[in-house]
A and B are shown apart, each in its own frame.
Chain A
């Protein structure tokens, strides 16, 4: 088997940098949630920037960033939050060059995408790292060497208009649909502001704020849990189930973050203020369709850039 000679050496891993792709669906019945990138929209765009399929793996950096040495000439692109390096465009790096990123100026996560993708061995069909279960490796350490995959075809680094950036503006309400037990709660949730707790991780984002009152006590039989579900334990402090969420749970769920806003969760930092806005299923579908339309435009724009 021939392998690309491309390598990335991790000089400083930063806080919880991991290899991520779009996740590992298909194993929910074994207790494995899909996991993958915390901000999949940024990862997809980052991959488009360097001419990769959207599904390629990249380095997800969290809050502090990291520094990485390239063992070959290649093309990289950064997408997500501002980690002090040029965002939303690709650029060439030479063998021996070091790219130092971070800390985050805004938001929480930035994706370092490299042409060809990070080529660690897939586990259950995905190169993503699930930290809690130890699936697909662990958080990066200094001295780790990451192989770069072979690019599918030669391409010119395209320019990308960051139209989607507008949707990641801080302070915007996160849009949700009603959860399966929404009727168990009294009002007030949508008028309240919550702070993201420091005790948040890729499994769950814990919120602190006014107590969300249960109208009905009574236990809930353990049932399936979805990404972005907002569950409320008896203490009234909500938890948003995040990418490495448990597949089943026993707390009632008041709401669920809509698909078009899931990527915003990956950019929340501890102490950020969040509010929620209730939308209908139809509205949620429209918002997702619109988002995908912009991604498709960017993708097509990129293809054109390759041809010219």
Chain B
């Protein structure tokens, strides 16, 4: 474990080097554990916890804590039991107007669109973390054979519910937002609802399956 000051009010806790190969089940569990402990304990002065693939950024109030104190909290906060991971099935309308990049993904991977859909919906995914924007799940488990580079220029607006592939990752956009991933389909499922408790449908460790609708 490596601790670095990312700013005067945040500490970056890393479980491995900053390279794509560090996306692993081991690191996912370490990140989930630290996030779960800090979120459950809510130590005084800890403002936010931003998990990622192999690191956790801990944002704190510098009038209450310093980097050393936050490091101590990361090491000493007691474990809490993890809840049983849920499996969430997400129905997807692949292709068509709401999946405008399916053909491009098929071309890039030298498959038919049907094969891309079969592979995308046949895999088991796990939520590494929610990040970027409210409720946005970073999923692991995309078959390597359908990995496709991001668009060279991001779209100004990706509609909420868009299911997309970006490099070796796949995900669902919870809200209208800019985005550079390739949109292969659309789901009516709402991933984020501020009035719901919890507001995000998926949590770290949730299992996800995409079902062709």
Residues of A within 8 A of B (CB): 25-34, 123-124, 132-136, 177, 179-181, 218-229, 246-249, 253, 256-259, 281, 284-285, 288-289, 292
Residues of the A chain whose Cβ atoms lie less than 8 Å from the Cβ of B18: 181, 220-221, 223
Q: Is the CB of B35 closer than 8 A to any CB of chain A? A: yes
Decide if B49 touches A29 in the complex (CB within 8 Å): yes
Decide if A221 touches B52 in the complex (CB within 8 Å): yes
Decide if B8 touches A27 in the complex (CB within 8 Å): no
Assuming the contacts A222-B138, A223-B52, asked whether A28 and B204 have C-beta atoms less than 8 A apart, the reply is: no
Contact partner of B57 among A25, A181, A220, A225, CB < 8 A? A225
Decide if B55 touches A31 in the complex (CB within 8 Å): no
Count chain B residues whose beta carbon lies closer than 8 angstroms to a beta carbon of A.
51
Decide if A246 touches B55 in the complex (CB within 8 Å): no
Assuming the contacts A132-B133, A246-B132, asked whether A224 and B56 have C-beta atoms less than 8 A apart, the reply is: yes
User: What is the CA–CA distance of A179 and B6 in the complex, to the nearest angstrom?
Assistant: 6
The smallest beta-carbon distance between B82 and chain A, in angstroms, is: 14
A–B complex contacts, Cβ < 8 Å, 9 sampled:
A25-B59, A29-B39, A29-B49, A221-B18, A223-B52, A224-B56, A224-B131, A226-B6, A288-B8
Residues of the A chain whose Cβ atoms lie less than 8 Å from the Cβ of B62: 259, 284-285, 288
Assuming the contacts A28-B59, A29-B35, A133-B133, asked whether A34 and B6 have C-beta atoms less than 8 A apart, the reply is: no
Assuming the contacts A285-B66, A288-B8, asked whether A226 and B57 have C-beta atoms less than 8 A apart, the reply is: yes
- Other A-B contacts than A221-B54, A247-B48, 12 sampled, CB-CB below 8 A, are A29-B130, A30-B135, A34-B48, A220-B18, A222-B52, A223-B18, A223-B54, A224-B57, A224-B131, A246-B131, A257-B7, A259-B7
Decide if A284 touches B6 in the complex (CB within 8 Å): no
User: What is the CA–CA distance of A30 and B6 in the complex, to the nearest angstrom?
Assistant: 20
Residues of the A chain whose Cβ atoms lie less than 8 Å from the Cβ of B48: 25-29, 33-34, 247
Residues of the A chain whose Cβ atoms lie less than 8 Å from the Cβ of B129: 29, 248
User: What is the CA–CA distance of A41 and B14 in the complex, to the nearest angstrom?
Assistant: 32
Assuming the contacts A33-B48, A226-B6, A226-B7, asked whether A123 and B63 have C-beta atoms less than 8 A apart, the reply is: no
Decide if B51 touches A29 in the complex (CB within 8 Å): yes
The smallest beta-carbon distance between A36 and chain B, in angstroms, is: 11
**How many Cβ-Cβ contacts under 8 Å join chain A to chain B?**
158
User: What is the CA–CA distance of A177 and B9 in the complex, to the nearest angstrom?
Assistant: 10
Decide if B63 touches A289 in the complex (CB within 8 Å): yes
For B167-183 the 0/1 string (1 means CB < 8 A from A) is: 00000000101000000
Q: Is the CB of B146 closer than 8 A to any CB of chain A? A: no
> Could you say which of B20, B57, B133, B136 has the most chain A C-beta atoms within 10 Å of its C-beta?
B133
For B36-61 the 0/1 string (1 means CB < 8 A from A) is: 00010010000111111111110100
The smallest beta-carbon distance between A60 and chain B, in angstroms, is: 20
The smallest beta-carbon distance between A91 and chain B, in angstroms, is: 31
Q: Is the CB of B148 closer than 8 A to any CB of chain A? A: no
Q: Is the CB of B194 closer than 8 A to any CB of chain A? A: yes
Decide if A281 touches B67 in the complex (CB within 8 Å): yes
Decide if A177 touches B8 in the complex (CB within 8 Å): yes
Q: Is the CB of B30 closer than 8 A to any CB of chain A? A: no
> Could you say which of B12, B55, B131, B198 has the most chain A C-beta atoms within 10 Å of its C-beta?
B131
Contact partner of A219 among B20, B56, B194, CB < 8 A? B20
Decide if A259 touches B8 in the complex (CB within 8 Å): yes
Decide if A31 touches B9 in the complex (CB within 8 Å): no
Decide if A31 touches B131 in the complex (CB within 8 Å): yes
User: What is the CA–CA distance of A221 and B131 in the complex, to the nearest angstrom?
Assistant: 13
The smallest beta-carbon distance between B73 and chain A, in angstroms, is: 15
Q: Is the CB of B159 closer than 8 A to any CB of chain A? A: no
Decide if B132 touches A248 in the complex (CB within 8 Å): yes
Residues of the A chain whose Cβ atoms lie less than 8 Å from the Cβ of B67: 281
User: What is the CA–CA distance of A284 and B4 in the complex, to the nearest angstrom?
Assistant: 16
Residues of the A chain whose Cβ atoms lie less than 8 Å from the Cβ of B206: none
Residues of the B chain whose Cβ atoms lie less than 8 Å from the Cβ of A30: 130, 134-135, 192, 198-200
Residues of the B chain whose Cβ atoms lie less than 8 Å from the Cβ of A180: 4, 6, 12
Residues of the B chain whose Cβ atoms lie less than 8 Å from the Cβ of A31: 130-136, 200
User: What is the CA–CA distance of A181 and B50 in the complex, to the nearest angstrom?
Assistant: 17
What is the chain A residue whose CB lies nearest that of B32? Answer: A29
Q: Is the CB of B10 closer than 8 A to any CB of chain A? A: yes
Q: Is the CB of B106 closer than 8 A to any CB of chain A? A: no
The smallest beta-carbon distance between A202 and chain B, in angstroms, is: 13
> Could you say which of A26, A27, A228 has the most chain B C-beta atoms within 10 Å of its C-beta?
A27
Decide if B42 touches A26 in the complex (CB within 8 Å): yes
What is the chain A residue whose CB lies nearest that of B132? Answer: A246
Contact partner of A224 among B22, B52, B134, B195, CB < 8 A? B52
Decide if A123 touches B194 in the complex (CB within 8 Å): yes
Decide if B20 touches A34 in the complex (CB within 8 Å): no
Residues of the A chain whose Cβ atoms lie less than 8 Å from the Cβ of B119: none
What is the chain B residue whose CB lies nearest that of A288? Answer: B62
Assuming the contacts A224-B56, A225-B50, A248-B129, asked whether A29 and B204 have C-beta atoms less than 8 A apart, the reply is: yes
